[in-house]
Amino acid sequence: MRIIPAIDIIDGKCVRLTKGDYMKKTIYNENPLEVAKAFEDVGIQYLHLVDLDGAKAQHIVNYKILEKIAGKTNLKIDFGGGIKSDDDLQIAFNSGAKQITGGSIAVKNSAVFESWISKYGNTKIILGADCNSEKIAVQGWQEQSSLDVIPFIKSYVDKGISYVICTDISKDGMLEGPSFNLYQRILNETKSVKLIASGGVTSIEEINKLEDIGCEAVIIGKAIYEGRINLKDLETLA
Protein backbone atom coordinates (compact mmCIF):
# COMPACT_ATOMS: atom_id res chain seq x y z
CA MET A 1 0.00 0.00 0.00
CA ARG A 2 1.27 3.47 -0.86
CA ILE A 3 2.09 5.80 2.03
CA ILE A 4 1.26 9.44 1.21
CA PRO A 5 2.10 12.15 3.75
CA ALA A 6 0.06 15.34 3.52
CA ILE A 7 1.16 18.95 3.46
CA ASP A 8 -1.63 21.52 3.75
CA ILE A 9 -0.73 25.09 2.83
CA ILE A 10 -2.06 28.39 4.17
CA ASP A 11 -0.08 31.61 3.57
CA GLY A 12 2.80 29.51 2.25
CA LYS A 13 3.12 27.61 5.54
CA CYS A 14 2.62 23.97 6.46
CA VAL A 15 -0.51 23.75 8.63
CA ARG A 16 -3.15 21.32 9.81
CA LEU A 17 -6.80 22.07 10.49
CA THR A 18 -9.17 20.22 12.81
CA LYS A 19 -12.25 18.89 10.99
CA GLY A 20 -11.50 21.35 8.18
CA ASP A 21 -12.10 24.37 10.44
CA TYR A 22 -9.96 27.29 9.26
CA MET A 23 -10.32 28.82 12.73
CA LYS A 24 -8.63 25.75 14.26
CA LYS A 25 -5.29 26.01 12.50
CA THR A 26 -1.91 24.84 13.74
CA ILE A 27 1.25 25.95 11.95
CA TYR A 28 3.82 23.15 11.99
CA ASN A 29 6.50 24.55 9.73
CA GLU A 30 6.96 27.77 7.78
CA ASN A 31 8.96 25.94 5.11
CA PRO A 32 6.93 23.25 3.30
CA LEU A 33 9.97 22.28 1.19
CA GLU A 34 11.85 21.37 4.35
CA VAL A 35 8.98 19.10 5.38
CA ALA A 36 8.80 17.49 1.93
CA LYS A 37 12.53 16.80 1.95
CA ALA A 38 12.22 15.12 5.35
CA PHE A 39 9.61 12.79 3.87
CA GLU A 40 11.82 12.02 0.88
CA ASP A 41 14.81 11.35 3.15
CA VAL A 42 13.09 8.30 4.67
CA GLY A 43 12.17 6.82 1.31
CA ILE A 44 8.70 8.30 0.86
CA GLN A 45 7.87 8.63 -2.84
CA TYR A 46 4.48 10.38 -2.77
CA LEU A 47 3.04 13.62 -1.41
CA HIS A 48 -0.51 14.92 -1.03
CA LEU A 49 -0.28 18.72 -1.30
CA VAL A 50 -3.39 20.77 -0.53
CA ASP A 51 -3.81 24.46 -1.29
CA LEU A 52 -6.18 25.47 1.50
CA ASP A 53 -6.04 29.11 0.43
CA GLY A 54 -7.06 27.95 -3.04
CA ALA A 55 -9.91 25.86 -1.70
CA LYS A 56 -11.30 28.91 0.05
CA ALA A 57 -10.65 31.32 -2.84
CA GLN A 58 -12.03 28.85 -5.42
CA HIS A 59 -8.96 29.15 -7.63
CA ILE A 60 -5.37 27.92 -7.36
CA VAL A 61 -3.23 30.11 -5.09
CA ASN A 62 -0.13 28.31 -3.76
CA TYR A 63 1.21 26.91 -7.03
CA LYS A 64 4.67 28.40 -6.31
CA ILE A 65 4.97 26.04 -3.33
CA LEU A 66 4.07 23.14 -5.61
CA GLU A 67 6.64 24.32 -8.14
CA LYS A 68 9.36 24.56 -5.49
CA ILE A 69 8.71 21.10 -4.00
CA ALA A 70 8.39 19.47 -7.42
CA GLY A 71 11.60 21.16 -8.59
CA LYS A 72 13.71 20.29 -5.55
CA THR A 73 12.49 16.76 -4.70
CA ASN A 74 11.60 13.63 -6.66
CA LEU A 75 8.28 13.23 -4.86
CA LYS A 76 5.28 12.32 -6.99
CA ILE A 77 2.80 15.01 -5.98
CA ASP A 78 -0.95 14.93 -6.13
CA PHE A 79 -2.28 18.46 -5.76
CA GLY A 80 -5.70 19.72 -4.79
CA GLY A 81 -7.48 22.79 -3.50
CA GLY A 82 -9.15 25.43 -5.63
CA ILE A 83 -8.79 23.72 -9.00
CA LYS A 84 -11.97 24.91 -10.67
CA SER A 85 -11.03 25.64 -14.28
CA ASP A 86 -8.93 24.42 -17.20
CA ASP A 87 -6.48 27.24 -16.42
CA ASP A 88 -6.12 26.09 -12.79
CA LEU A 89 -5.51 22.55 -14.00
CA GLN A 90 -2.82 23.64 -16.44
CA ILE A 91 -1.09 25.73 -13.77
CA ALA A 92 -1.02 22.69 -11.43
CA PHE A 93 0.42 20.35 -14.07
CA ASN A 94 2.88 22.98 -15.33
CA SER A 95 4.03 23.55 -11.74
CA GLY A 96 4.92 19.87 -11.34
CA ALA A 97 1.85 18.00 -10.14
CA LYS A 98 1.74 14.37 -11.30
CA GLN A 99 -1.95 14.09 -10.38
CA ILE A 100 -4.64 16.56 -9.44
CA THR A 101 -7.55 16.01 -7.10
CA GLY A 102 -10.94 17.50 -7.93
CA GLY A 103 -13.61 17.62 -5.27
CA SER A 104 -15.89 20.65 -5.45
CA ILE A 105 -15.59 20.80 -9.24
CA ALA A 106 -16.88 17.21 -9.49
CA VAL A 107 -20.03 18.35 -7.65
CA LYS A 108 -20.48 21.89 -8.96
CA ASN A 109 -19.44 21.41 -12.57
CA SER A 110 -19.43 17.73 -13.44
CA ALA A 111 -19.17 18.43 -17.19
CA VAL A 112 -15.78 20.12 -16.75
CA PHE A 113 -14.53 17.40 -14.40
CA GLU A 114 -15.63 14.67 -16.78
CA SER A 115 -13.82 16.45 -19.61
CA TRP A 116 -10.62 16.30 -17.54
CA ILE A 117 -11.05 12.55 -17.08
CA SER A 118 -11.50 12.15 -20.83
CA LYS A 119 -8.55 14.39 -21.72
CA TYR A 120 -5.96 13.36 -19.12
CA GLY A 121 -7.08 9.85 -18.20
CA ASN A 122 -7.80 8.18 -14.89
CA THR A 123 -4.16 7.99 -13.78
CA LYS A 124 -3.82 11.78 -13.61
CA ILE A 125 -7.24 12.81 -12.30
CA ILE A 126 -8.29 11.83 -8.77
CA LEU A 127 -11.81 12.22 -7.39
CA GLY A 128 -11.93 13.93 -4.01
CA ALA A 129 -14.89 12.48 -2.10
CA ASP A 130 -14.78 14.29 1.23
CA CYS A 131 -17.78 13.73 3.44
CA ASN A 132 -19.40 14.58 6.74
CA SER A 133 -22.07 12.19 8.03
CA GLU A 134 -21.59 10.48 4.63
CA LYS A 135 -22.70 13.61 2.75
CA ILE A 136 -20.24 15.11 0.26
CA ALA A 137 -18.74 18.43 1.40
CA VAL A 138 -17.36 21.09 -0.95
CA GLN A 139 -15.69 24.54 -1.00
CA GLY A 140 -12.86 23.58 1.34
CA TRP A 141 -15.35 21.63 3.47
CA GLN A 142 -17.25 24.83 4.23
CA GLU A 143 -20.41 23.65 2.49
CA GLN A 144 -22.25 20.33 2.75
CA SER A 145 -24.15 18.95 -0.23
CA SER A 146 -27.08 16.54 -0.29
CA LEU A 147 -25.06 13.89 -2.14
CA ASP A 148 -24.41 10.55 -0.44
CA VAL A 149 -20.75 9.59 -0.63
CA ILE A 150 -21.02 6.00 -1.87
CA PRO A 151 -23.42 6.66 -4.80
CA PHE A 152 -21.30 9.74 -5.63
CA ILE A 153 -18.15 7.61 -5.89
CA LYS A 154 -19.94 4.89 -7.84
CA SER A 155 -21.27 7.42 -10.35
CA TYR A 156 -17.75 8.64 -11.13
CA VAL A 157 -16.28 5.15 -11.29
CA ASP A 158 -18.91 4.50 -13.96
CA LYS A 159 -17.57 7.60 -15.77
CA GLY A 160 -14.01 6.30 -15.74
CA ILE A 161 -12.51 7.47 -12.44
CA SER A 162 -10.07 5.04 -10.86
CA TYR A 163 -8.42 6.84 -7.92
CA VAL A 164 -10.62 8.23 -5.14
CA ILE A 165 -9.49 10.05 -2.00
CA CYS A 166 -12.15 9.73 0.66
CA THR A 167 -11.80 11.85 3.79
CA ASP A 168 -14.26 11.54 6.64
CA ILE A 169 -14.20 15.14 7.85
CA SER A 170 -15.41 14.14 11.33
CA LYS A 171 -12.18 12.15 11.69
CA ASP A 172 -9.77 14.62 10.10
CA GLY A 173 -7.19 15.99 12.52
CA MET A 174 -8.84 14.25 15.46
CA LEU A 175 -6.30 11.40 15.85
CA GLU A 176 -9.15 9.04 16.73
CA GLY A 177 -8.69 6.47 13.98
CA PRO A 178 -9.98 6.28 10.38
CA SER A 179 -13.45 5.34 9.11
CA PHE A 180 -12.81 1.63 8.57
CA ASN A 181 -16.49 0.76 8.19
CA LEU A 182 -17.10 3.41 5.55
CA TYR A 183 -14.04 2.37 3.56
CA GLN A 184 -15.03 -1.28 3.73
CA ARG A 185 -18.49 -0.46 2.41
CA ILE A 186 -17.06 1.65 -0.43
CA LEU A 187 -14.75 -1.19 -1.43
CA ASN A 188 -17.52 -3.79 -1.18
CA GLU A 189 -19.87 -1.75 -3.36
CA THR A 190 -17.34 -0.34 -5.86
CA LYS A 191 -15.05 -3.20 -6.77
CA SER A 192 -12.75 -1.45 -9.26
CA VAL A 193 -12.00 1.68 -7.22
CA LYS A 194 -8.46 2.47 -6.03
CA LEU A 195 -9.40 3.90 -2.65
CA ILE A 196 -7.08 6.29 -0.85
CA ALA A 197 -8.02 6.56 2.82
CA SER A 198 -7.60 9.93 4.52
CA GLY A 199 -8.37 11.27 7.98
CA GLY A 200 -7.83 10.08 11.53
CA VAL A 201 -4.86 7.74 11.06
CA THR A 202 -2.84 7.48 14.29
CA SER A 203 -0.74 4.31 14.12
CA ILE A 204 1.10 1.79 11.97
CA GLU A 205 -1.49 -0.80 13.08
CA GLU A 206 -4.27 1.28 11.54
CA ILE A 207 -2.28 1.61 8.33
CA ASN A 208 -1.93 -2.18 8.21
CA LYS A 209 -5.67 -2.60 8.80
CA LEU A 210 -6.47 -0.20 5.94
CA GLU A 211 -4.24 -2.30 3.71
CA ASP A 212 -5.98 -5.49 4.88
CA ILE A 213 -9.43 -4.18 3.92
CA GLY A 214 -8.16 -3.27 0.45
CA CYS A 215 -7.26 0.43 0.43
CA GLU A 216 -4.77 1.27 -2.34
CA ALA A 217 -3.08 4.04 -0.33
CA VAL A 218 -3.32 6.06 2.87
CA ILE A 219 -2.81 9.77 3.46
CA ILE A 220 -1.26 10.67 6.81
CA GLY A 221 -1.08 14.19 8.20
CA LYS A 222 -1.45 15.22 11.80
CA ALA A 223 -0.20 11.90 13.21
CA ILE A 224 3.21 12.65 11.69
CA TYR A 225 3.31 16.28 12.82
CA GLU A 226 2.21 15.39 16.36
CA GLY A 227 4.73 12.55 16.61
CA ARG A 228 2.16 9.74 16.83
CA ILE A 229 3.77 8.12 13.80
CA ASN A 230 7.53 8.43 13.48
CA LEU A 231 9.00 9.00 10.04
CA LYS A 232 11.47 6.19 10.78
CA ASP A 233 8.51 3.84 11.26
CA LEU A 234 7.21 4.81 7.83
CA GLU A 235 10.63 4.06 6.35
CA THR A 236 9.90 0.32 6.54
CA LEU A 237 6.55 0.81 4.74
CA ALA A 238 7.62 3.29 2.05
Q: Write the CATH number for 143.
A: 3.20.20.70
d(CA 238, CA 234): 6
Catalytic residue among 8, 51, 168, 172: 8
- Does pLDDT of 169 surpass 60? yes
Give the pLDDT band (50/70/90) at residue 138: confident
233 catalytic per annotation? no
Query: What is the DSSP code (8-state) at residue 25?
Result: E
* Most distant CA pair in the chain, distance: 43
Q: What is the mean pLDDT of residues 195-212?
A: 95
* pLDDT value at residue 143: 67
Q: Is 130 among the residues known to form the active site?
A: yes
Alpha helices (runs of H) in the chain, residue ranges in sequence order: 32-41, 52-57, 63-72, 86-94, 104-108, 110-120, 149-158, 180-189, 204-213, 222-225, 231-235
pLDDT digits (tens, 9 = 90+) for 5-51: 999 999 999 998 877 788 888 999 999 999 999 999 999 999 999 99
Q: How many domains does the chain have?
A: 1
Please tell me the predicted confidence (pLDDT) of residue 142: 67
Q: What is the structure's pLDDT at 235? A: 81
List 78, 130, 168, 172, catalytic entry: 130
Angle at 17 between CA 74 and CA 175, to 5 degrees: 90
- Residue-wise pLDDT for 205-218, tens only, equals 999 999 999 999 99
C-alpha distances out from residue 162 to 45, 122, 146, 219, Å: 20, 6, 23, 17
Domain residue limits at 82? 2-235
